[in-house]
């Protein structure tokens, strides 16, 4: 979708990524690690249940790296920093379902057809499947200001 087709009346961030050098799930897990915002993140995929196991695997691989680094350092400041990351990563819930509007935190994987049912209060949405321009513009209008849309 060309950027000229995106309506500019609502502030938001749009990021384009490619997973050429790594797997898609690894790239999303790394990106989620840098987001670390309280709230809901959505991943739009064709097959949420299959993709979730891959995403969880990559998420825990990053967690292992954090714990390995924590174990190998003697600097108290660095241990504190990595402890915080480790605790944060273990607390993030992941599910292959449309989140309930009451959910305040977590990563949810949905299919493109479930997109209309997602709650508007989210901070990041990863789109890994091609969507029609109309559906994308509807999504852009629905999401809160300053949220991030990542297009693969």
Tokens 């709650």, located at residue: 119
Contact status: 13 vs another protein (CB under 8 A)? yes
Tokens 């994308």, located at residue: 136
CB of 98 to another protein, least distance (A): 24
- Name the residue nearer to another protein (CB basis): 57 or 84: 84
- Name the residue nearer to another protein (CB basis): 60 or 111: 60
Separation of alpha carbons 66 and 70, rounded Å: 6
By CB under 8 A, the residues from 121 to 150 that bind another protein are 145-146, 148
Please, what's the b/e burial string for 94-130 (b: 16 or more CB within 10 A of its CB; e: otherwise)? bebebbeeebeebbbbbebeebeebeeebbbbbbbee
Considering only the stretches 14-22, 41-49, 100-108, 111-119, report the one whose residues sit in contact with another protein under the rule CB under 8 A: 14-22
CB of 124 to another protein, least distance (A): 9
Map residues 64-103 to x or -, x wherever contact with another protein holds by CB under 8 A. Answer: -xx--x-------xx-xxx-xx------------------
| Nearest CA among 43, 53, 32 for reference residue 97 | 43
Contact status: 50 vs another protein (CB under 8 A)? no
CA separation (Å) from 108 to 45, 97, 103, 117, 130? 10, 6, 10, 12, 18
Residues in the site for another protein, rule: CB under 8 A?
3, 6, 8, 11-18, 21-22, 27, 30-31, 33-38, 61-62, 65-66, 69, 77-78, 80-82, 84-85, 145-146, 148
């Amino acid at each position: 979708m060309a950027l000229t087709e995106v309506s500019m009346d609502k502030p938001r961030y749009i990021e384009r990524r490619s997973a050429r050098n790594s797997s898609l799930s690894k790239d999303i897990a790394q990106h989620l690690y840098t987001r670390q915002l309280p709230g809901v993140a959505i991943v739009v995929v064709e097959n949420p249940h299959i993709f979730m196991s891959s995403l969880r695997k990559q998420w825990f691989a990053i967690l292992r790296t954090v714990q390995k680094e924590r174990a190998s350092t003697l600097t108290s400041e660095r241990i504190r920093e990595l402890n915080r990351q480790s605790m944060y990563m273990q607390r993030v819930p992941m599910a292959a379902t449309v989140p309930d509007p009451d959910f305040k935190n977590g990563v949810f994987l949905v299919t493109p057809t479930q997109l209309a049912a997602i709650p508007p209060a989210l901070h990041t949405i990863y789109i890994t499947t091609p969507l029609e321009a109309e559906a994308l513009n509807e999504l852009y209008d629905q999401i809160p200001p300053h949220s991030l849309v990542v297009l693969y």
